[in-house]
Amino acid sequence: MERFTISLDEDLAIEFDRLIAQRGYRNRSEAVRDLLRGQLESSRLARGEARYCVANLSYVYNHHERELAERLTEIQHQHHDLTVSTLHAHLDHENCIESVILKGPTQAVRAFADALMAERGVRHGSLNLVSVAAEQGNHTHGYTPKGKRSGAHLHLKPRS
């Protein structure tokens, strides 16, 4: 662990300590580490350096909208290689919220999210991307559908 010192004027330090307390950090170091990770992540994504990502796509839609639920499901099936899991919850008699966990090439994940959020009737769409380093794994985790041990696959490890 490397240490460094920063100086803050009193007003900024007081405001920072309030933020730390609101978010439940135990100390300033934990809060600074999270702030740095967030800025580094934003910078990587803005520069296009994140080749692979994991992501959460959340959106609200009216399930009475004509064939919308079927269209959303079809888009997910067309991108089954990116879609890990979907959580669906009913908000009221008309509206649902879905959260889709995605992983894969960042450009493909963004394109999928954009296409889904552009569907007529989808509201409040939001994509949260986390860049990952893709490492080739050559060990086994289980069995293929034909009963053979699975081998080579990608491991996606969050950066910083």
Question: So where are the chain's domains?
Answer: 10-46, 52-133
Under DSSP, the state recorded for 129 is: E
Say what the pLDDT of residue 118 is: 94
Say what the pLDDT of residue 3 is: 87
Helix intervals (H) in the chain: 10-23, 28-46, 68-78, 106-117
- 52-133: CATH, from 3.40.50.300, 2.60.120.620, 3.30.70.1150, 3.40.50.720: 3.30.70.1150
pLDDT tens series, the chain, 160 aa: 888 898 999 999 999 999 999 999 999 999 999 888 888 877 877 777 778 999 999 999 998 888 998 999 999 999 999 999 999 999 999 999 999 999 999 999 999 999 999 999 999 999 998 888 877 666 666 666 666 655 566 777 776 6
Q: What is the total residue count of the chain?
A: 160
Say what the pLDDT of residue 49 is: 72
